[in-house]
Copies of this chain bind each other. A is one copy, B any other.
Amino acid sequence: MKIGFIGLGIMGTPMVKHLLEADHTLFVNSRSGLPPSLAGYQLTVCASGKQVAEQADAIITMLPDTPDVDAVLFGSKGVSEANLAGKVVVDMSSISPIETKKFANRIEQLGGHYLDAPVSGGEVGARAASLSIMVGGPQIIFEKMLPVLQLMGKNITRVGDNGDGQTAKVANQMVVALTIEAVGEALLFASHAGANPEMVRQALLGGFASSKILEVHGERMVKRTFDPGFRIALHQKDLNLALKSAQEMGLALPATALAQQLFNSCVAQGGEAWDHSAMICALERLSDFSISAQ
């Protein structure tokens, strides 16, 4: 398939490699030019989203935030300036569910199709082609693009119509943040009560308290390995999507709001680029006690 790919960052670059290695024809565009690691591959570098969309049948975007996707799709020399009849836009960025529904509408009015297909799994998942992909959009378009998505991910679910993929991604990030807080408070309590937090973590694995977060992020908390992983600043962006949407919809999310405040506390401590498991540092500050104090 002729595939366009816009956004060659730490996620986009390994994803493009998987598509190239499956013999797809790639038309790429990136604000920062072609990454050195793609130098040896045969692909076409385009000057704009419009140029990408003129040549490709499916256009994948993998960008940091909602305004970036807006600009690439609908800005000057954007994707929407090409003839989109029968073409598919697949936005794999993590952006606003509400804006996504508007973007999908606009692309369809131009004769194109739209899937929102945000991912979970980070750089490691992108490299290993093991990303979870949460898809919103028409079933028939999902089926058409599924073989392409399967080159980049493993747990691929069509959640529902346009926007529902992004909604699932926001929900995913809420669960992750709040489970980090759950594990953080529990380990802090146990440690302050005199127990060894690592032994408590092990005792809790296997029962109803077990989770991927207890396994991975719980270990990070005990070992104080806060190199990302997933940066707190990015998780703040995701929780902002939740809290902003919640306010617009008239929905109360008390624990999500609390988790965001704890991330704010981490940033106040200089932790913008720490791994999100470092939320424990904000909990520790509240009580002037560290689980590593023993």
Contact = CB atoms under 8 A, between A and B. Distances in A.
A51 interface: no
Contacts of A174: 182, 185-186, 189
Contacts of A210: 211-212
B163 A203 contact: no
A38 interface: no
Nearest to A180: B182
A242 B189 contact: yes
A164 interface: yes
Given A132-B203, A159-B199, A167 B185 contact: no
Interface stretch (A58-66, A83-91, A248-256): A248-256
B212 A164 contact: no
A182 B160 CA distance: 22
Nearest to A98: B193
Contacts of A194: 160-161, 163-164, 167
B167 A195 contact: yes
A105 interface: no
A99 to B, nearest CB: 12
Interface in A90-105: 97-98
Copies of this chain per assembly: 2
Interface in A33-49: none
Interface of A: 97-98, 120-121, 132, 134, 136, 154-155, 157-161, 163-164, 167-168, 170-172, 174-179, 181-183, 185-190, 192-196, 199-200, 202-214, 216, 242, 245-246, 249-256, 258-259, 283, 286-287, 289
Given A176-B209, A211-B211, 4 more contacts: A172-B209, A175-B182, A250-B287, A255-B258
29 contacts: A97-B193, A121-B208, A132-B203, A132-B207, A155-B205, A155-B207, A157-B199, A158-B199, A159-B196, A159-B199, A160-B195, A161-B194, A163-B193, A163-B194, A168-B195, A170-B190, A171-B186, A171-B189, A172-B186, A174-B186, A174-B189, A175-B214, A178-B179, A189-B251, A189-B256, A210-B211, A252-B283, A252-B287, A255-B258
